[in-house]
């Protein structure tokens, strides 16, 4: 009758197994391939707790499963890591509650007195053989979550349950942690112990939640019911934690992570003001990149920094760059040592008892793993910078192709213009002695020729093309550089050595045995040195990436200016060509009206109007001043027919040149530019 994604499903027993002879009934459940939570916690890399994303995923899944069981009047009574299994569903790890063998149906009575379950995770009232209710699952759940955060159980985890029970029973309701000092004194705390993987914005609400779950008094445990929703307050607080919108940001200028709790409907500008206050980088100089290299859109809200359903700073990060800097040279300090690890680093030969040494070495392993992960995150930031550079480069290539195409078109038009105007000047010189002559028109044509020569400067983009090609070469070299690939092999090897040492220590019997930390400290020092080396290489490579990006940023407006100049020159050439052709046709009109060969001209031109001459004779704007061309001698009509035919020929030639330019542009755009990525 149970059907919930976080409660393991019961299945029909396969028919093939019905023939088995057994004194007990067979039960079948869905297979979960990820093992149980205990297996995950026992991994050496989790000796100081799970990652934040794993903790929040567990909190969501098991919290939902417990609520479902309680809504169906069922107490599990035996929640522990061994009874939480993991299943990969579409790339996402889902936690499921199993082993309902001890579960008690609340319909049989809300108070139960049978003593069952695993002692280390049992609620206090079960030790005292008192009646209990569903809040026993709260205690077990809180104990599990604490262990996932810190790597060990909250109350004197090294002692047997009946021993620590007597020492803890008088704790304050808000105490969530107890440890035993060397002198035997028990120290209580309302805070989570360090180290752990929770970000600072989650620590306080998580501690408040644990205070509700680990309350010794079963009546107060869970915080009671909320009067508005009739839900346990512990689950309301859990939902609040899970619904927090937190953006985690890696400041690439300092190699430090900063986190911000987003307000509802907060704008990106508002977030940038808070970033400026926290980092000192002005909002105008902030560049916020996603892992894909895409820059955040200032028109969209700040919620674009987070992904729905993705929780934990180890799962998703935004990378912060300072646009006013292109050289990132540090210094970048390694993460700080915990007190325990610093103690053995200061004196690696000091002898410590094995139980205490296990705790110290666990923190040492956590530190070594943390150094490697710090580098991995910075490498992801460098990769985001590279992807951003390639996006800028793609835009540069597009603009460069547009510029080259426009330049080629301008070049073709200028060649046509120069050829046609030279021919016009030549033909004009041939006929001016016996035909039409106009000093004003001749002067205007020569001025056009000079302007066309000046326009030729606009098509000269060779200096820009050289800069772009040199920049492309530089970008390709950066892509081929070994520093463009992860350089953490040495740190990974040192991490494995630290884990192996820790495993060996855990197999040693703890009775009256002591050991020093020489080997572990050596690994710590080598890891710090290795991280320092690879970070220098990483930030050197990053500085080159940012330098190339700045060169592109500087080139783009120059290309824009060149494009505008080419367009203006192109427009001017077309205007001059049109003006000159209109003047030629104007001369033709005069010749046709005053030449006895008008009929020959009319029959030689397709589409030439046959309207009366009076309707298209040139008129002055004032109506009383004659047009200057009316006073010039009229040449023979046959010469004008020849000139017009030649103009038509060059118009056709011009169209052909333009078509070739367009085809060449398409050819350039169709090149395979993937080698630049």
Catalytic residues: 78
Rounded distance between C-alpha atoms, residue 227 and residue 209, angstroms: 18
Strands 246-251 vs 318-322: parallel, antiparallel or unpaired: parallel
* Both tokens assigned to 271: 């977030």
Contacts with 331 (C-beta within 8 Å, 6 or more apart), sequence order = none
Cα 506 from chain centroid (whole Å): 40
Nearest CA-CA partner of 403 in 455, 453, 461: 461
| Phi–psi pair at 426, nearest 5 degrees | -65, -45
Contacts with 88 (C-beta within 8 Å, 6 or more apart), sequence order = 33, 34, 94
Quote the DSSP letter at residue 23.
Answer: S
Q: Are 568 and 608 in contact (CB under 8 A)?
A: no
Quick one: angle between helices 135-150 and 200-213, nearest 10? 150
| Phi–psi pair at 253, nearest 5 degrees | -80, -20
Contacts with 201 (C-beta within 8 Å, 6 or more apart), sequence order = 244, 246, 259, 260, 261
Rounded distance between C-alpha atoms, residue 92 and residue 467, angstroms: 47
Contacts with 310 (C-beta within 8 Å, 6 or more apart), sequence order = 53, 316
Rounded distance between C-alpha atoms, residue 131 and residue 606, angstroms: 111
Positive or negative CA dihedral for 324, 326, 330, 335? positive
Rounded distance between C-alpha atoms, residue 42 and residue 574, angstroms: 79
């Amino acid at each position: 009758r149970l059907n919930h994604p976080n409660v393991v499903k019961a299945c029909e027993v396969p028919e093939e197994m019905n023939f088995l002879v057994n004194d007990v009934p067979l039960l079948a459940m869905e297979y979960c391939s990820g093992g149980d939570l205990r297996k995950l916690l026992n991994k050496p890399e989790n000796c100081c707790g799970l990652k934040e994303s794993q903790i929040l995923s567990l909190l969501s899944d098991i919290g939902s499963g417990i609520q479902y069981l309680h809504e169906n009047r069922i107490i599990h009574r035996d929640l522990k890591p061994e009874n939480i299994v993991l299943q990969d569903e579409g790339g996402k790890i889902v936690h499921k509650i199993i082993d309902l063998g001890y579960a008690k149906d609340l319909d049989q009575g809300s108070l139960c007195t049978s003593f069952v379950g695993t002692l280390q995770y049992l609620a206090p009232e079960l030790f005292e053989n008192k009646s209990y209710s569903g809040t026993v699952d709260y205690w077990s759940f809180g104990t599990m979550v604490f262990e996932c955060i810190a790597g060990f159980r909250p109350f004197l985890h090294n002692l047997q349950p009946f021993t620590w029970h007597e020492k803890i029973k008088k704790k304050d309701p808000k105490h969530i942690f107890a440890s035993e000092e060397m002198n035997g004194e028990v120290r209580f705390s309302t805070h989570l112990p360090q180290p752990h993987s929770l970000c600072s914005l989650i620590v306080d609400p998580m501690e408040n939640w644990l205070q509700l779950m680990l309350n010794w008094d079963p009546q107060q445990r869970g915080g009671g019911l909320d009067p508005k929703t009739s839900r346990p307050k512990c689950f309301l607080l859990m939902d609040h934690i899970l619904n927090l919108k937190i953006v985690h940001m890696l400041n690439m200028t300092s190699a430090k992570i900063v986190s911000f709790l987003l307000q509802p409907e907060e704008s990106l500008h508002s977030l940038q003001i808070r970033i400026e206050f926290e980092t000192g980088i002005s909002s105008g100089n902030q560049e916020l990149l996603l892992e894909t290299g895409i820059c955040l859109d200032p028109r969209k809200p700040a919620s674009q920094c987070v992904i729905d359903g993705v929780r934990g700073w180890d799962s998703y990060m935004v990378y912060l760059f300072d646009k006013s800097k292109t050289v990132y040279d540090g210094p970048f300090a390694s993460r700080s040592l915990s007190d325990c690890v610093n103690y053995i680093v200061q004196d690696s030969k000091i002898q410590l008892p094995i139980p205490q040494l296990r705790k110290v070495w666990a923190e040492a392993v956590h530190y070594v793993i943390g150094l490697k992960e710090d580098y991995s995150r910075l490498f992801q930031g460098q990769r985001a910078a590279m992807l951003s550079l390639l996006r800028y480069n793609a835009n540069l290539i597009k603009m460069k192709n547009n510029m080259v195409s426009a330049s080629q078109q301008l070049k073709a038009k200028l060649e046509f213009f120069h050829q046609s105007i030279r021919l016009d000047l030549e033909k004009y010189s041939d006929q001016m002695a016996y035909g039409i002559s106009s000093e004003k028109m001749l002067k205007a044509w020569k001025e056009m020729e000079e302007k066309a020569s000046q326009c030729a400067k606009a098509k000269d983009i060779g200096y820009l093309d050289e800069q772009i090609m040199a920049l492309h070469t530089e970008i390709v070299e950066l892509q081929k550089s070994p520093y463009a690939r992860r350089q953490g092999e040495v740190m990974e090897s040192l991490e494995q050595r630290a884990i192996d040492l820790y495993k060996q220590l855990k197999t040693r019997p703890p009775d009256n045995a002591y050991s020093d930390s020489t080997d572990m400290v050596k690994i710590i020092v080598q890891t710090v040195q290795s991280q320092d080396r690879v970070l220098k290489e990483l930030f050197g490579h990053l500085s080159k990436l940012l330098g190339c990006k700045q060169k592109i940023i500087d080139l783009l407006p120059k290309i824009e200016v060149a494009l505008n100049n080419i367009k203006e020159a192109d427009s001017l050439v077309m205007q001059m060509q049109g003006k000159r052709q209109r003047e030629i046709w104007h001369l033709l009109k005069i010749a046709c009206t005053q030449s006895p060969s008008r009929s020959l001209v009319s029959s030689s031109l397709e589409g030439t109007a046959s309207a009366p001459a009076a309707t298209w004779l040139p008129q002055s704007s004032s109506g009383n001043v004659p047009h200057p061309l009316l006073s010039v001698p009229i040449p023979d009509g046959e010469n004008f027919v020849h000139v017009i035919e030649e103009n038509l020929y060059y118009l056709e030639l011009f169209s052909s040149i333009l078509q070739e330019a367009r085809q060449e542009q398409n050819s350039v755009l169709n090149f395979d530019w993937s080698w630049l990525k």
